[in-house]
């Protein structure tokens, strides 16, 4: 196992441990039991780190020019995550400008909390150039190190969106009430059968 493999395995192993600590600090493990869909980004991040550890074992020797060409992809992806987080935050501020944050529910506050942390980690962790690497191995190390905050910000952003979906309480049953034809077996089933009190209410509205 050469230096490139050692660098990748070390960085992503530490990144996995950092993910556990970050989740404990920002989200908390009890929330996984209450909002079960949060397990998707929680386990998804672990899968990414473990996959990078496994693939890191087979990391080949890469020359400096190739490494230099790969490096911008990390910053470009981190910029995308930061832009998405900021755009969602600005949109939320715009649509809820007449409603104080103190009156918002707990899920909305968790959503904004994770969203802003995603933006902050992406901007402070992945975008700055901490030092100018003198050689290929150092540039490879910097690229791997910048992948950590990128992964953190990406899965925190996913967690924020899932929390907001819980706030919207979007369910299949609600969609069925709004558009029953979307779930009918045939268009001939339209209109759907109404319950007696629904039919009575409709007759009163027509008259």
Cβ–Cβ < 8 Å for 49, 16: yes
- How does pLDDT run across 15-36, given as a tens digit for each residue? 999 999 999 999 989 989 888 8
Residue count of the chain, please give it.
207
Cα 102–chain centre separation: 25
3-state secondary structure the chain: CCHHHHHHHHHHHHHHHHHHHHHHHHCCCHHHHHCHHHHHHHHHHHHHHHHHHHHHCCCCCCCHHHHHHHHHHHHHHHHHHHHHHHHHHHHHHHHCCCCCHHHCCHHHHHHHHHHHHHHHHHHHHHCCCCCCCCCHHHHHHHHHHHHHHHHHHHHHHHHHHHHHHHHHCCCHHHHHHHCHHHHCCCHHHCCCCCCHHHHHHHHHHHC
pLDDT at residue 45, as a whole number? 95
Distance CA 111, CA 96 (A): 14
pLDDT at residue 14, as a whole number? 94
Cβ–Cβ < 8 Å for 162, 40: yes
pTM of the predicted structure, to 2 decimals:
0.73
pLDDT at residue 176, as a whole number? 53
Distance CA 116, CA 15 (A): 20
pLDDT at residue 56, as a whole number? 81
- Provide CB contacts within 8 A for 67, sequence distance 6+: 136, 139, 140, 143
Under-70 pLDDT residues of the chain: 1, 63-64, 66-71, 94-104, 127-136, 170-207
């Amino acid at each position: 196992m050469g230096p490139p493999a050692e660098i990748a395995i070390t960085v992503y192993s530490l990144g996995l441990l950092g993910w556990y600590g970050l989740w404990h600090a920002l989200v908390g493990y009890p929330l996984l039991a209450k909002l079960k869909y949060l397990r998707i980004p929680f386990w998804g991040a672990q899968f990414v780190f473990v996959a990078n550890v496994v693939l890191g074992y087979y990391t080949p020797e890469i020359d400096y020019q190739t490494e230099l060409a790969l490096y911008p992809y990390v910053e470009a992806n981190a910029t995308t995550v930061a832009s998405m987080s900021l755009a969602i935050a600005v949109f939320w501020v715009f649509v809820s400008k007449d409603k104080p944050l103190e009156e918002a529910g707990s899920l909305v506050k968790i959503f904004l909390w994770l969203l802003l942390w995603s933006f902050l980690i992406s901007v402070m962790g992945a975008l700055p150039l901490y030092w100018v690497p003198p050689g290929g191995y150092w540039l490879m190390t910097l690229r791997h190190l910048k992948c950590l905050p990128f992964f953190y910000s990406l899965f925190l952003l996913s967690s924020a969106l899932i929390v907001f979906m819980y706030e919207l309480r979007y369910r299949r049953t609600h969609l069925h009430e709004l558009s029953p034809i979307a779930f009918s077996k045939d268009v001939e089933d339209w209109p759907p059968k109404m319950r007696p009190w629904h039919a009575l209410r409709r007759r009163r509205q027509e008259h």
